[in-house]
Amino acid sequence: MQEAMPLLEVKNVSRYFGSLAAVDDLSFEVCQGEVFGIAGPNGSGKTTAINVITQIIPPSKGEIFFDGHPIHRLKSHDICHLGIARTFQQPTVFETMSIADNISVGGTFGKKGARDGAAEAEICRLLDFVGLDKDPDTPAKKLIVNDKKKLMLAVALATNPKLLILDEPCAGLTTVESKEIINLIKKVNDLGTTVMLIEHNMQVLMNISDRVMIIDHGTKLCQGTPDFVCCDARVIETYLGRNSVKGGKTFAGAE
Amino acid sequence: MLTKSSNKMRPVYIVLVILLLLVPLIIRDDYLMHLIIMTCVWGIVATNWNLTLGYGGMFHIAQLTFFAVGGYASGIGAVTFGASPWLGLLIGGAAAMAASLVIGLPSLRVKGIYLILLTYAFHNGVSELVNHFRDYTGGSMGLLVPAFEAGSVSFVTHPSYYYYMVLPLLLFSIISTRLIEKSFIGKALMATRDSEVLASVSGINPYKYKLVTFITAAFISGIAGAFYASYLGVIGPEIFSFSLIVNGLGMIVIGGMGTLFGPIAGSFIITFFMEVFSSLEDFRPILVGAVIILALLYAPNGVVNYLGEMLAKIKSRKLPGQARESGE
């Protein structure tokens, strides 16, 4: 997996808020076809890092390349056109629009110059894919949290991304709902879409990620395979805690 | 999958348009005709304001600036350069478009309270310009604008002629709003209103779509301003008054923000009450304000939405009765 071509390259990126460095000289690569997990304590700069990649907030310094293109000076919509889609920690949908119209936005504007919108069959296919069994004319504001998360994912997938960035997709969900989302992420990845996800639930992260990066104070603490990361002394000290390693078993082996 | 209600409603719209065309034949009273014409004028302004505010979520007060710019531009065109009021309509629209670029390019990069403040600053700025160039604008006295003429016939003695001018403009405003709403521009606009961040990461350039709509709405409001100036025969600095801003926003909110017919219902209600309270002079804005507050208390989503909800309730009550009748 590590020998695959890097799809996303983040080089020495920093983001300052006044004197606070939310992301501090961060560098990493996401390879084509992998599931790349990011974890770290609260306030470690995970969400800021993906906000910088998707240009919701511009980086203070550093360079970001996607598929060979420099994207650190582009706008969010241009980055989407290149093939990066994302979801948010809070379920964010177009509340006053119907489920179908939400997905149609992704299909209509996801590619540069595309104006046809997602066809009815494509909307149904995506709803079926994410497991959202609702009338497409239902207003998005009437959905429960789990369904909104699925719809948010469907909107992102409608843009036909090469890289899907997920910000805590299981946050606020029950165990059953989380499993549903995990299976969905696996399905997306199996179809060839590279996935980068932030997740607090280490069991989730370790089980579906090919590689994991741990961030603390905006900088990279450790990066590697789930087994490697879980055994790293600094990760155990600052994030996982000593109780995470019992009898040689780590999160990676947990079900 | 998507709504087919517009097709079902088509016969209703056609009947409505025919009835509107017959209005001057039914109403012979000049004063009533004047009220209807003014309702149409404010309906045009409110409909176009609603396009940016209701559908686009841009909280601004520039629509009245465009209306005033259109009125003054056509007036100056007629008085200073001898342009006919007919050409003044185009001059008004073009001037308002130019103003929308000057105001929109910097202002639409911000939102919320900042957008309101910026557009209010521009509104006051244009008002100051009008006061400064009093040789052209008439300053505090206002500018006398010639009436529309067709050959040797002046429209002044024929209110119905004005009505047949303003009605197509109102219908054009409604149709263009509907077309924009149903197009990819409307989709981008409403998505941006709901979540600008999600819209951006879904491939929408919010600034571009906001600006396009802002300019379109300005053009039509500018034409309405030119019509207004020529219809009343005068345009003065009171067009920049704060009470007009409150009335304009009141029309949209009372009628129903983000609805097609809400602003027209709102302009009808506000124009009606403005006339009812006309003898009370200084107290009029207070009473109109009270009407707005009452409407917001009892129909917070607007009269059109309120009526829609009532209709839906009546329909849902009828259904069990129908079921009983059929023996179920």
* Whether B2 and A76 lie within 8 Å, measured CB to CB: no
The full set of domains in chain A, from first to last, is 1-74+193-254 (3.40.50.300)
Report the length, in residues, of chain A: 255
Distance CA B297, CA B289 (A): 12
Looking at residue B149, what is its pLDDT?
Answer: 87
Looking at residue A248, what is its pLDDT?
Answer: 44
- How crowded is the C-beta side of A134, counted as CA atoms within 13 Å? 20
SS3 per-residue string spanning B100-121: HHHHHHHHCCCCCHHHHHHHHH
Minimum distance, in Å, between the CA of residue B36 and any CA atom of chain A? 33
Tell me, rounded to whole angstroms, the distance of Cα A165 from its chain centroid: 3
Q: Are B185 and B215 in contact (CB under 8 A)?
A: no
* Phi, psi values for residue A220, rounded to 5°: -75, 125
Token pair listed for A92: 């964010």
Average pLDDT by stretches of 10, chain A with 255 residues: 78 94 95 94 92 96 95 96 95 96 93 69 92 94 94 95 94 87 93 93 85 92 87 75 54 40
| ipTM associated with this complex | 0.90
Residue found under tokens 């998005």: A140
- How crowded is the C-beta side of B262, counted as CA atoms within 13 Å? 33
Helices (H), B51-112: 62-81, 85-107
B326 Cβ contact list (under 8 Å, min separation 6): none
Q: Which residues of A touch B (CB under 8 A)?
A: 54, 56, 75-77, 79-81, 85-86, 88, 92-98, 100-101, 104-106, 108-112, 115, 117, 120, 123, 136-137, 152, 155-156, 159
Q: Are B74 and B84 in contact (CB under 8 A)?
A: no
- Residue A201's closest CA among A232, A153, A244? A244
Asked if B205 is an interface residue toward chain A (Cβ–Cβ < 8 A), one would say: yes
Q: Are A34 and A28 in contact (CB under 8 A)?
A: no
Residue found under tokens 């505090």: B140
The residue type at B101 = L
Question: What DSSP string runs through B202-264?
Answer: TT--HHHHHHHHHHHHHHHHHHHHHHHHHHHSEE-GGGG-HHHHHHHHHHHHHH-TT-SSHHH
* Residue of B188, B194, B205 lying closest to A96 (CB–CB): B194
Q: Are A97 and A41 in contact (CB under 8 A)?
A: no
Assign A119 to helix, strand or coil. coil
* Phi, psi values for residue B229, rounded to 5°: -60, -45
Distance CA A107, CA A126 (A): 11
Looking at residue A242, what is its pLDDT?
Answer: 63
Distance CA B316, CA B322 (A): 10
* Whether A117 and B184 lie within 8 Å, measured CB to CB: yes
Q: Are A33 and A194 in contact (CB under 8 A)?
A: yes
Looking at residue B158, what is its pLDDT?
Answer: 83
* Residue of B3, B191, B201 lying closest to A76 (CB–CB): B201
A240 Cβ contact list (under 8 Å, min separation 6): A202, A230, A251
Assign A158 to helix, strand or coil. helix
Looking at residue B279, what is its pLDDT?
Answer: 80
E strand spans, B51-187: 143-144, 149-150, 153-154
Distance CA A8, CA A159 (A): 18
Minimum distance, in Å, between the CA of residue B195 and any CA atom of chain A? 6
Distance CA B80, CA B135 (A): 10
Domain definitions of chain B by residue range: 26-239, 241-328
* Whether B184 and A120 lie within 8 Å, measured CB to CB: no
Q: What is the pTM of this model?
A: 0.88
Q: What is the pLDDT along chain B (328 residues), one digit of tens a residue?
A: 434 556 778 888 899 999 999 999 999 899 999 999 999 999 999 999 999 999 999 999 999 999 999 999 999 999 999 999 999 999 999 999 999 999 999 999 999 999 999 999 999 999 999 999 999 999 989 999 999 988 888 887 888 999 999 999 999 999 999 999 999 999 999 999 999 999 999 999 999 999 999 999 999 999 999 999 999 999 999 999 998 999 999 999 999 999 999 999 999 999 988 888 878 877 888 888 888 899 889 999 999 999 988 888 888 876 655 544 444 3
Mutate to test the interface with A, among B3, B195, B202 (most CBs of A within 10 A): B202
Looking at residue A117, what is its pLDDT?
Answer: 61
Asked if B187 is an interface residue toward chain A (Cβ–Cβ < 8 A), one would say: yes
SS3 per-residue string spanning B258-303: CCCCHHHHHHHHHHHHHHHCHHHHHHHHHHHHHHHHHHHHHCCCCH
